[in-house]
Amino acid sequence: MEGGVQAVSPTHRLDVRGYRCPIPVGETRQALKDLDQGHVLEVRFDDPEALEDLPPMLARHGHRMLTVEEVAGDWRMCIEVIG
């Protein structure tokens, strides 16, 4: 198994590249509010601070981070909506 990463198919996408925290966290939180349980939100961002700020927000709201990977100088995070 190359890389050990399972492909995740997002049901929704959010692109906050070009914005600095706290905007990526706030936009992600708002997008998750609008989704139903089981949906997967793909968030694309380029602010490295979001790597530190998003996981605690997800934990507070009970969502699950499925994957995070660097892609061409920015990041892709897939989040499963729980509850």
Token look-up 């994957």 returns 67
Is 21 known to be catalytic?
Answer: yes
Per-residue pLDDT of the chain (83 residues; tens, 9 = 90+): 344 455 789 999 999 999 999 999 999 999 999 999 999 999 999 999 999 999 999 999 999 999 999 988 899 999 999 97
Residue 66's domain comprises 12-80
Residue 2 domain flag: no
Biggest alpha carbon distance in the chain? 37
Residue 6 domain flag: no
Sign for the CA dihedral angle at 40, 11, 54, 32 comes to: negative
Assess contact for 27 and 16: CB atoms under 8 A. yes
Residue 1 domain flag: no
- Active-site residue among 21, 23, 66, 68? 21
The enclosing domain of 76 has a CATH number of 3.30.110.40
Residue 7 domain flag: no
Residue 3 domain flag: no
Residue 73 domain flag: yes
Give the number of domains in the chain: 1
Give pTM, 2 decimals. Answer: 0.89
